[in-house]
Structure 1
Amino acid sequence: MTRPQPEVVVLVTMTPDQRQESVRVSQVILPEKEERQTPYTLEEFSYDYFRPPPKHTLSRVMVTKNRGKDKLWSCSREPLKQPLLKKVVNHEELSQEACMAFIAIMKYMGDYPSRRTRAVNDLTDQIFEGALKDEPLKDEIVCQIIKQLTDNHVKYSEEKGWELLWLCTGLFPPSNNLLPHVQKFLQAKKHHLLSPDCMQRLQKALRNGSRKYPPHLVEVEAIQHKTTQIFHKVYFPDDSDEAFEVESSTKAKDFCHNISGRLMLKSSEGFSLFVKITDKVISVPDGDFFFDFVRHLTDWIRKARHVKDGGAAMVPSLTYQVFFMKKLWTNTVPGNDSMADSIFHYYQELPKYLRGYHKCSREEVHQLAALIYRVKFEEDNSHFQTTSKILKDLVPQDQIRLQSPDDWKRSIMTLFIKQSGKTREDAKLSFLKIIYKWPTFGSAFFEIKQTTDPNYPETLLIAINKHGVSLIDPKTKDILTTHPFTKISNWSSGNTYFHITIGNLVRGSKLLCETSLGYKMDDLLTSYISQMLTTMTKQRTSRGNK
């Protein structure tokens, strides 16, 4: 009996989907004038860093037969019993993990029996999760993937191996010892469609460092659909959106920079990316890899749901949206950046104003209503016929009942006529210039309950802005007190609370707030204080250099 060809063996181990894909791949006609180069292998690297092959005590004939099997750096259709690298072999836990990862690689490439129904990133998680936790496994996984791409004569399997190498080069760089060998391997395979892209991704991984989480579903789906460019829709406060390319190595800071460049903003300072998932909107830290953050967030929410539902039901895939907004308003002055005023500042400040969070005079309310009307309808005054219907979009909710609809109509229309000739953009700027004078401009407002301080009402409005943390009476809108950031010594948050300590940790006063938005308050306070400390350090440095 003779062993069937690898192409036949591999068809048996594939899932029906993989078999279908294999037929499609095998029908792709490659260019005839393909430059054939001698393939580069990990043989040279293996002499110093691979474990020695098993010793054979059999006849010379058997040794000749086994020689192919001893090429540890060459493609194998058998699972590994031990890791490839010496540095992993002696570590029992890592050894086990390395061998399991190799089976997952074989399953992904269609070289090992696998069940059909699984999430798109199940196998990629199994392959890369260990390597992202334990440094020695990084080189092990890179070697395993290159091994399976060396002398692999099954077209489908080879293509799937290239997908894994593409994902891998976007996650982490190999060690300095392995790096030149990976580069030579890619150089020798430069005719392959993914090779130049893998080379670029490798350079970026060397520059930006290692990711923390395995590839996001979006990355895995992209490469499985033969797409090396991933475009992400980003939403803006003015209800517009645009698509931006996001790479595996893109950090939130780079993403913000790209967006502000495209929108022709004068600076990306104070802006942030936010991910909206289920009922939460969470800011992406500047230094985080974008896909790492989204991956971490979806995993966290999935686990929380799983526990809540008793782990019985299959959790559906979580969809998310990405927003780009102004987060820190420290240096925001209306008129300094017309694009930022038009797309962000106006549309972010308007809802807070209409919710009635600011203290303002009747005259200001009339003026602002006329400006909001102009932004909505420009010179078209026909909507004044139905003033009662549009009042909620023009006047703070707590002020609507202070006048009859007819009185509102008269007051607003008089000022609207006075402002004749103003463009929509002029009206936005005028609106911002009025609000800018208020101490609560650029605030994030939080409605909370407190019982720790009898001097304050039980229901409080907290505003976090460039001045610090203000406590506001929700009825009168009076600012009861403002705690500057320099006086805040400690804070913490949970699902149902936000705690803050003002002044000395021993003698300071504590405010315990009941809120479901503690995570937002915590993040905002951290960001403002971090910005303040950075500014102080810069000022000290510049003084020292003078």
Structure 2
Amino acid sequence: MSSPYAATSPTTTDSIAYASLSTDSHSYTMQEFALCHFRKPQPALWGSMGAPGPTIQSLWPQAPIKESLISLSDEDTNKQAVESFRVLMQFMGDQPKPRGKNDLELLYELLKLCREENLRDEIYCQVIKQVTCHPQPEHCTRGWNLLSLLTGCFSPSATLMPYVIKFLQNSGSSQELARNSQEHLQRTVKYGGRQRLPSLGEIQAFLKGQGMRSLLIHLPGGVDYRTTIQTFTVAAEVVEELCRQMGITDPQEMQEFALFLIKKEGELVRPLLPHEYLNSVVEQDTSLHSRRLIWETPLHFDNPTYITTHYKQVSCHPHPGLHAAYRSLDPGLQLANEPLPGWGTSKPPPSQDMLNYLPKPLRGHVNIPIIKKLIDQELRQLQVYNSQEAQISFIEAVSQLPLFGYTVYVVLRVSQMALPGPSLLGLNHQHLIVMDPCSQKQCCSITLKDLHRLHLLSPLESEGPPGLELNYGSADNPQTIWFELLKAQELMHTIVFLTDRGLPSK
């Protein structure tokens, strides 16, 4: 049987509760919540204090409870509530610890119990009750440590939320852990809380006040950026920090950047969703890389770091097939506008170097003297540029090319299409296209908003590449297409990131 106390999930209104909550000290007190939702007090619960009602501000239970604080009609949930209070008292030092269990294990047991949604409000109330007017400061600090972790992992229900906020606000002026709990709860309301509980080692470091850790972010062009994250830092916060370093203040433009998680030697490559907690995904065999993934906001060259970062991403594009497609449009023009590695700026490069730089299908169809002349002209013009002016010129030139702004993958085979060889798959925030790299002809276009499901396919042949199946179209005209490519899993994760609609994937 369900409980008459309906614990609801946090809604979008919770995120503005901090700003709109009344400052009246008599509003949203835990005593008012207790009067509305707690069971009637029993002598065994309130001991010798003789309170006439469940006044949480003035009572501190000295013995384990025999029933849940909140009126819960489900018997199993009530038993779990009684057990959680017993574990809470053991962790805080108010009751003897069971043999063979330490503080860390008791704390982890409480966090695991909070996975049950119908127990979260109960445990919130239990912890708040124990830290209110606790006579022993050391025991009280243990309770606050738990509350700080609890607020970072789980939100209370919409019913309890304003009371918890008010309690933390009233306690924050004199209690650092209360202020930390406020910050953690704000982040949980905004990002959803940590779906994976912190590890035992992470919890231990948190309890010791060592929750901060250094994190290395690899930027385009081999540049590294080191930052510091905490137990509940999410990907969006680090992306915002990186954007501020580039002088980006527009929230819309910030959303066009992403952190990519790379596991081992590229075994897994995927963009992190903004709400993902970094300590839940970053492990010893992973690295984080940052790059711009969406190119909708007009580029602006008003910050040196912004210019250099974009130049390095564009000039060091990770997909060789993209450069091949660029140059096949007009080899002479593109060579004249693209910096060539290892070449000086005083004279044109040797003919052999230019031939090696060209895509193989074009090497027999270019006029080397003409290309040398174009490069010589370009190099003379570059001599009057400073470094950043040259970088801006290059970015502007490349931005005019057909696949600029796309994440490009080399596709080996496509269902329903007969292409002469590997083709290029371009993906941006609006659609997915397939292009013949030689003719530049667009063979297929799928709008991302029309996607319904993604399915990762096993290799069709032994030791062959995997595939990705896409279901799209309308209910009256459903369509299916699959692509065979080495980076099928990365493509799937990137599509999910760009759509941000939780597409079914497998």
Q: TM-score, normalised by structure 1?
A: 0.63
Partner of residue 70, structure 2: 86
Counterparts in 2 of 1:224 and 1:412: CA distance versus 1, 3 Å: farther
| % identical equivalent positions | 14
Q: Aligned-pair distance for 1:294?
A: 5.6
Pairing 1:195–2:178 present: yes
Deviations 1:356-399 (A, max 9, x none): 44242331453245x244xx888699x989x99x989x936758
Q: TM-score, normalised by structure 2?
A: 0.67
CA distance in 1, matches of 2:383, 2:61: 77
Counterparts in 2 of 1:352 and 1:505: CA distance versus 1, 3 Å: farther
- Show the 5 A alignment for 1:129-278: 129-134=112-117, 136-150=118-132, 156-172=138-154, 174=156, 176=159, 179-180=162-163, 183-184=166-167, 187=170, 190-202=173-185, 204=186, 208=190, 210-211=192-193, 213=195, 215-217=197-199, 220=203, 223-227=206-210, 232-244=215-227, 252-253=235-236, 255-265=238-248, 267-278=253-264
CA distance in 1, matches of 2:225, 2:292: 17
> Partner amino acid for 2:404?
F
1:323 counterpart (275, 286, 289): 289
Counterparts in 2 of 1:513 and 1:115: CA distance versus 1, 3 Å: farther
Pairing 1:478–2:426 present: no
SS in 2 for 1:325: strand
Counterparts in 2 of 1:332 and 1:400: CA distance versus 1, 3 Å: farther
Partner of residue 511, structure 1: 481
2:310 counterpart (322, 344, 347): 344
Q: Aligned-pair distance for 1:99?
A: 4.1
CA distance in 1, matches of 2:293, 2:33: 50
Deviations 1:252-298 (A, max 9, x none): 55553443223203642522233334432322334x2x42x763x57
SS in 1 for 2:454: strand
> Partner amino acid for 2:190?
N
Q: Aligned-pair distance for 1:238?
A: 3.7
Partner of residue 268, structure 2: 280
CA distance in 2, matches of 1:428, 1:196: 45
Pairing 1:112–2:78 present: no
CA distance in 2, matches of 1:172, 1:509: 40
For the 8 Å contact 2:34–2:55, the answer to whether it is kept is no
SS in 1 for 2:289: strand
Counterparts in 2 of 1:454 and 1:241: CA distance versus 1, 3 Å: closer
Counterparts in 2 of 1:350 and 1:211: CA distance versus 1, 3 Å: same
CA distance in 1, matches of 2:370, 2:100: 68
For the 8 Å contact 1:349–1:442, the answer to whether it is kept is no
Partner of residue 395, structure 1: 357
CA distance in 2, matches of 1:509, 1:160: 57
Structure 2: state its 5+ residue gaps: 1-28, 458-465, 502-506
> Partner amino acid for 1:478?
Q
Partner of residue 465, structure 1: 428
Q: Aligned-pair distance for 1:327?
A: 1.0
Counterparts in 2 of 1:454 and 1:115: CA distance versus 1, 3 Å: same
Counterparts in 2 of 1:521 and 1:126: CA distance versus 1, 3 Å: same
CA distance in 2, matches of 1:402, 1:102: 80
CA distance in 2, matches of 1:142, 1:486: 42
Counterparts in 2 of 1:510 and 1:139: CA distance versus 1, 3 Å: closer
Task: Please provide the CA RMSD for this pair.
Answer: 5.0
CA distance in 2, matches of 1:334, 1:44: 54
Deviations 1:182-220 (A, max 9, x none): 745774685444234334545x26963752525545973
Partner of residue 367, structure 1: 336
Q: Aligned-pair distance for 1:343?
A: 0.4
For the 8 Å contact 1:270–1:328, the answer to whether it is kept is yes
Partner of residue 441, structure 1: 404
Q: Is 102-111 or 409-418 further displaced after alignment? A: 409-418
Counterparts in 2 of 1:378 and 1:241: CA distance versus 1, 3 Å: farther
